[in-house]
Structure 1
């Protein structure tokens, strides 16, 4: 791709800003036009960007395009992953799936629902924790509401173990392999679910970006 400020989707070229040959000066209004169009292609014609969500989307955009100045203003560390929290139906999963398309030159992350990882553990055991604990960049969807894993009669807090492994990976690779996650739970609920040790590692793994708890359920 010669010009990273332009993306072609469905035969239409979208301009995200100005490219000076070295870097892109992004235009947020143009980014929103592109995200709206890409969202409809990914999720159907009912998809739209809500005005009330633009502040969250702006922060996510700053993170993904690596806008250091705005990341600093919002206390976002571009070296860490994103933990996107908010009530059921606020659009977390759609946004985290959508935003990676903004930077096609960056290494894409896999997308893994946490309950599927637990089901995999129930069948295959600890190999699943190794697979997800040491792999590509990844986004864990719906963290904290997955069931407890059970393999050969032994219970295991599967995602807690996976997060500890991802933390070790983060230290080893000096943040080159990112971990992202979406969750409906708040910090206290996450600590209750995974314990203090995992929660403290999560603080080092993730930037917390949170929807307002009164955000409407967009699936209704």
Structure 2
């Protein structure tokens, strides 16, 4: 039987050691995790993908959250019982990072990353069933939260993601089902988009991890 080795990930015949397995615990190494993330990013997004030095503070916060480093999370004010809201300017790399991070800990329950606008398009076609669909016990990351259009089904408007976030809040409280999201908007803009009630639930749903406002567009 193969020894349990959560700190070793194989990609294309290459073994990446993210740390050491000692005494039943993985002692992760930040630099080794960066090396793996860079390699995995190139596999997923092409050879032009790179890890930027200025993003290391953000990556460190994401790393300690995903590996469930309780001591480091406590120092950074990160609650492991909540999901992540990764915010920052357009093109700073939020979506790519959320796609990448789930590969760091393949032994943990994965989440599905879904564009928020696609959920609204689904609502426009099938109505309120789409809200029920995302009120299940699966883990999701809602991408580009806050810039999706208002939903409309049979002439009735609906703030679809706002309703889904309320459902996800109930799931977190009752069943510890976490939700993640990415957004280009700041706290004030999110409140304007979803209202104070949803915004207050979002504070309980998410840890806010924010890129600097001056982060450049990496897609250029």
CA distance in 2 between partners of 1:166 and 1:134 (Å): 8
- Matching of residue 41 in structure 1 with residue 17 in structure 2: no
The residue aligned with 2:179 is 179
CA distance in 2 between partners of 1:101 and 1:18 (Å): 18
- Matching of residue 75 in structure 1 with residue 77 in structure 2: yes
CA distance in 2 between partners of 1:94 and 1:216 (Å): 15
CA distance in 2 between partners of 1:9 and 1:86 (Å): 29
The residue aligned with 2:19 is 17
Q: How does 1:160-199 map to 2 (within 5 A)?
A: 160-173=162-175, 175=176, 177-199=177-199
Q: How does 1:71-150 map to 2 (within 5 A)?
A: 71-150=73-152
Say how many residue pairs are matched. Answer: 218
- Matching of residue 202 in structure 1 with residue 202 in structure 2: yes
The residue aligned with 2:56 is 54
CA distance in 1 between partners of 2:135 and 2:181 (Å): 14
CA distance in 1 between partners of 2:116 and 2:71 (Å): 33
How high is the TM-score relative to the length of structure 1? 0.98
CA distance in 1 between partners of 2:6 and 2:183 (Å): 31
Deviates most, 178-187 or 132-141:
132-141
- Deviating above 3 A after TM superposition, structure 1's stretches of 4 or more consecutive aligned residues are none
Give CA-to-partner distance per residue, 1:15-41, whole Å, 9 cap, x none: 000101411000000000000000011
CA distance in 2 between partners of 1:168 and 1:59 (Å): 26
The residue aligned with 2:30 is 28
The residue aligned with 1:213 is 213
CA distance in 2 between partners of 1:2 and 1:168 (Å): 35
RMSD of aligned Cα (Å): 0.8
CA distance in 2 between partners of 1:89 and 1:121 (Å): 27
Matched residue SS, 1:219: coil
